A and B are shown apart, each in its own frame.
Chain A
Amino acid sequence: MSNTSENYLVGIFDDEDVLLHGVEGIREKGVKIHEVYSPFPVHGLDEVLGYRRTRLPIAAFLFGMTGTSLALVMQIWMLGFDWPMIIGGKNYVSLPPFIPVTFELTVLLSALGMVATFFIVSDMKPYKKPRSYDLRSTDDKHVMAINLAANKISKDDISRILKDNGASEVNEKNF
C-alpha cells in the first residue's frame, strides 16, 4: 500500500433491503465500513451502521429560543423604552400584539440556524468537490466504501464478505 493514496473497496448494492441486511452481516464479520452512499434515504441504515442520532433538533430549538428572546427584547425596548408612544390608548408594553412578530422571528431563526448548522456539520458548500466512489450512487445503486487502511482483514477476504452479503459488484477505488 502506497502512502500517497487511499485505497478503498467499493461494494455496490442494488436493493435497500439487501443493503440493510448486508451492512449487519459485514459489520458482524468485523469489517469497518467507511460510509454508505445512497440515492435516497434508507430508513434504518443509520441504526445498522451504528450512528448516533443527530443533535440538529437541539440546534433548531436553541436558535428558535434565540429568535423568541431577540424579538421580545427588540419590541419591548423599542416601543417601551427607547421611544415610548401612546397608540390607541394602550400600554407601552403589552404582550398580545407582540406575539405575531415573536412567533415569526422564532420560526425564522430556528429554520435558518438549523439549516446553516446542517451545512456546517455536513461540510456542504457550493465549492466543495465531493469524492465519488461510484457515480451511480445518486442514480440507482447503494455504494458502500471500505477503507482498506482502516481494516486489518485482507482485501480478498473483505471482497468475499461483501459478495456473501449481497453486493452485486465489488470494485477498487484509489484517491
Chain B
Amino acid sequence: MQATSTLRESLITGGKTVRDVSEDISRQVEAKPTRLWWTVFGISLVVFMFGFYCLTTLLWEGIGMWGLNKTVGWAWDITNFVWWVGIGHAGTLISAILLLFRQKWRMSINRAAEAMTIFAVICAATFPLAHMGRLWLGFYWALPLPNTWGSLWVNFNSPLLWDVFAISTYFTVSLVFWYIGLIPDFAVIRDRAVRTGHKTRAAIYNALSFGWDGAAKTWMRYESVALILAGLSTPLVLSVHTIVSFDFATSVVPGWHTTIFPPYFVAGAIFSGFAMVLTLLIVTRKVFKLEDYITIYHIELMNIVIIITGSIVGIAYITEFFVAWYGQVPAEFYAFYNRAFGPYWWAYASMMTCNVISPQLFWFKKLRTNIVATFVLSIIVNIGMWFERFVIIVTSVHRDYLPSSWSMFYPTLYDVGEYLFTFGLFFTAFFLFAKFFPVINMAEVKSIIKSSSERRH
C-alpha cells in the first residue's frame, strides 16, 4: 500500500470523486459563456483590434513608425520579445521538469500554464517578424530556403538564426505536448455530449480527440510518449532562453557581452513565467470556481519558485555590477554606472524594486498564502521583468563609445500599439481556450484523486 506523508497537504480539496472531476471541469465547456466571460473577452478583443490597426499601419509604413533611431536600434520590440518568451517558459517547465521530478502538484495547473506558453510564444514571435520590416520576405531571411540570390544561404553562425530555430522548435514541441495532454480530456467531453444528445459537439470533440478510446494499450503508449516529450522538453526549455541571451551575449556591446547571461536569463524567464501563471490562474480559479483544484497550497508552491528564481536574478544583477567594477574595463563599467545613475535610473530602480526586493516578501508565509498579495506581487514581478529587459537593451546601446552619437529612446504610439496588440492577442486566445477547452487536466487529476482516496480504504 502507498504511504501517505502527513507533512504534505492534500492536492485536491473538497472531497472530490472521480465523477466530480469530469463534472466540474467539463461544465464550463458545456455551459453558455457567462456575462463575465463576454466582458473580459470583449475587452481583450477591443485591445486586439486597436493593436491590429497599429500593427498593420506599421507594416504598411515601415518600422520608422517606431521610436527607434540610429543609436537605439533595438528597444521596445526586442524588450517585448524577450519578455513574452520569458513568460512562455513556465508552461513547459511545469509540465516537463516537474513531471520528471514527479511533482504531482503540477497536475492542476499544467494545462493552463502550457496554453499560456503557446500564446506567449506567438506574441513574442510577432516582434522580430514585425522588425523585419518586409515580413513577406521573412521566410527567405530566416529559413534555409533556396532563393533568387543563387542560394545564398542563411548564416548558421548567427545567434539570431539560432533563435529562429529555438523559438519555432519550442513552439512546435510545446504545442504537441499540450495537445497530447488534451486528447483524453476531449474524449471526456465527447462522451458526455453523446450521452446528452449534443451531436455536433460530440462530432467536433471526437475529431479533436483523434477518436481516443482510453484502451490500456493506448494509455501505455501515451504515458511513454508523455515521458519522452518531457525528457525532450527539459533541455529545450533551458535552451530557448539561453539562445535568446546569446543574441546579446555574443555581441561586443558593453553591458551585453557577459557570460552570466544564459543562466541569468533562464532564471528570469522562470521567474516571470511563474508570475504570469499566478496572475492568470488566480483569475481563472475565481471565474470558473476551481478553488478545490487550484488550492492555496498550489499558490504557495509557485510563490516558493518565485522566491528562488527571484533571488537568483537578484544575485545575477549584483554579480554583473561587481564584475563590471572588478574587470576595470572603462566602457563596461560606464555601461553599468549609466544604468544605475544615468538618465534611465528610474527604469533601473523599478527593476531592482520589483524583481529583487518585492519577491523577498514571500518569505512570510502569511503573504505567500494570501491571494490578494500574490496577485499584486505577480503583476509587480512582471512589470519588473519588463524593465529588466528594457534596462539591458536600451541602456546598453543608448550611450556607446562615441558621446556625439549618444541618444535617448522615446516610444511612439506604434511601439505601444504593438505591445497592446500582443496583450489583446494573448488574452483573447487565453479566454477562448478557457471557454472551449478543459482548463484542468482531468485524466491526471483523476489519477491523484484515486491515490488520495486510498487512505479511506
Q: Are A101 and B165 in contact (CB under 8 A)?
A: yes
Give chain A nearest CB distance to B70 CB in angstroms: 24
* Chain A: CB-nearest residue to B214: A37
Q: Are B151 and A82 in contact (CB under 8 A)?
A: yes
Q: Are A54 and B207 in contact (CB under 8 A)?
A: no
Q: A125-B211, A130-B211, A135-B195 are in contact. Are A105 and B165 (CB under 8 A)?
A: yes
B206 at the interface (CB under 8 A from A): yes
| Complex contacts, A125 vs chain B, CB 8 Å | 210-211
| Complex contacts, A100 vs chain B, CB 8 Å | 159, 162, 165-166, 239, 243, 246
- Contact pattern, B 28-58, Cβ under 8 Å of A = 1, otherwise 0: 0000000000000000000000000000000
A39's partner among B18, B180, B211 (CB-CB below 8 A) is B18
Q: Are B176 and A57 in contact (CB under 8 A)?
A: no
Q: Are A140 and B17 in contact (CB under 8 A)?
A: yes
Give chain B nearest CB distance to A26 CB in angstroms: 13
A119 to B212, CA, bound (A): 10
A40 to B222, CA, bound (A): 11
| Complex contacts, B194 vs chain A, CB 8 Å | 132, 135
- Contact pattern, A 75-101, Cβ under 8 Å of B = 1, otherwise 0: 100110011010110100000011011
A46 at the interface (CB under 8 A from B): yes
Q: Are B221 and A140 in contact (CB under 8 A)?
A: no
B305 at the interface (CB under 8 A from A): no
* Chain B: CB-nearest residue to A122: B218
Q: A38-B214, A40-B446 are in contact. Are A115 and B180 (CB under 8 A)?
A: yes
Question: Which of A106-114, A156-164, A165-173 touches B?
Answer: A106-114
A153 to B165, CA, bound (A): 59
| Complex contacts, A1 vs chain B, CB 8 Å | none
B138 at the interface (CB under 8 A from A): no
B232 at the interface (CB under 8 A from A): yes
Q: Are B157 and A138 in contact (CB under 8 A)?
A: no
Q: Are A112 and B152 in contact (CB under 8 A)?
A: no
| Complex contacts, A82 vs chain B, CB 8 Å | 151, 153
The range of chain B's interface size is 35 or more
Give chain B nearest CB distance to A109 CB in angstroms: 10
Q: Are A128 and B211 in contact (CB under 8 A)?
A: yes
Q: Are A129 and B211 in contact (CB under 8 A)?
A: yes
Q: Are B153 and A78 in contact (CB under 8 A)?
A: yes
B228's partner among A56, A98, A105, A135 (CB-CB below 8 A) is A56
Q: A41-B447, A46-B220 are in contact. Are A57 and B211 (CB under 8 A)?
A: no
A42 at the interface (CB under 8 A from B): yes
A175 at the interface (CB under 8 A from B): no
* Chain A: CB-nearest residue to B219: A41
Q: Are B162 and A39 in contact (CB under 8 A)?
A: no
| Complex contacts, A126 vs chain B, CB 8 Å | 206-208, 210-211
A74 at the interface (CB under 8 A from B): yes
Q: A101-B156, A111-B173 are in contact. Are A39 and B144 (CB under 8 A)?
A: no
Q: Are B444 and A107 in contact (CB under 8 A)?
A: no
Give chain A nearest CB distance to B390 CB in angstroms: 26
Q: Are B221 and A121 in contact (CB under 8 A)?
A: yes
Give chain A nearest CB distance to B410 CB in angstroms: 34
Give chain A nearest CB distance to B25 CB in angstroms: 11
A42's partner among B22, B152, B207, B219 (CB-CB below 8 A) is B219
B215's partner among A36, A79, A90, A129 (CB-CB below 8 A) is A36
| Complex contacts, B195 vs chain A, CB 8 Å | 135
A35 at the interface (CB under 8 A from B): yes
Give chain B nearest CB distance to A165 CB in angstroms: 16
Q: Are A108 and B225 in contact (CB under 8 A)?
A: no
B155's partner among A64, A87, A112, A132 (CB-CB below 8 A) is A87
Give chain A nearest CB distance to B356 CB in angstroms: 30
Q: Are A104 and B216 in contact (CB under 8 A)?
A: no
Q: A16-B450, A103-B239 are in contact. Are A137 and B214 (CB under 8 A)?
A: yes
Q: A74-B144, A140-B22 are in contact. Are A51 and B220 (CB under 8 A)?
A: yes
Q: Are B224 and A107 in contact (CB under 8 A)?
A: no
Q: Are A87 and B157 in contact (CB under 8 A)?
A: yes
A60 at the interface (CB under 8 A from B): yes
A108 to B17, CA, bound (A): 38
* Chain A: CB-nearest residue to B165: A104
* 15 interchain pairs, CB-CB under 8 A: A35-B216, A57-B228, A60-B232, A74-B144, A83-B150, A98-B156, A100-B239, A103-B235, A104-B166, A105-B165, A111-B177, A119-B210, A131-B213, A138-B22, A139-B191
User: Which 9 A-B pairs have CB atoms at the shortest separation, nearest pair first?
Assistant: A128-B211, A140-B18, A100-B162, A124-B210, A130-B213, A126-B207, A78-B153, A104-B169, A104-B165
Q: A15-B450, A45-B220, A100-B243 are in contact. List 20 more A-B contacts (CB 8 A).
A: A35-B217, A40-B184, A40-B442, A40-B443, A42-B216, A42-B219, A45-B216, A57-B224, A79-B157, A83-B153, A104-B239, A107-B232, A107-B235, A107-B236, A125-B210, A126-B208, A127-B211, A138-B212, A139-B18, A139-B188
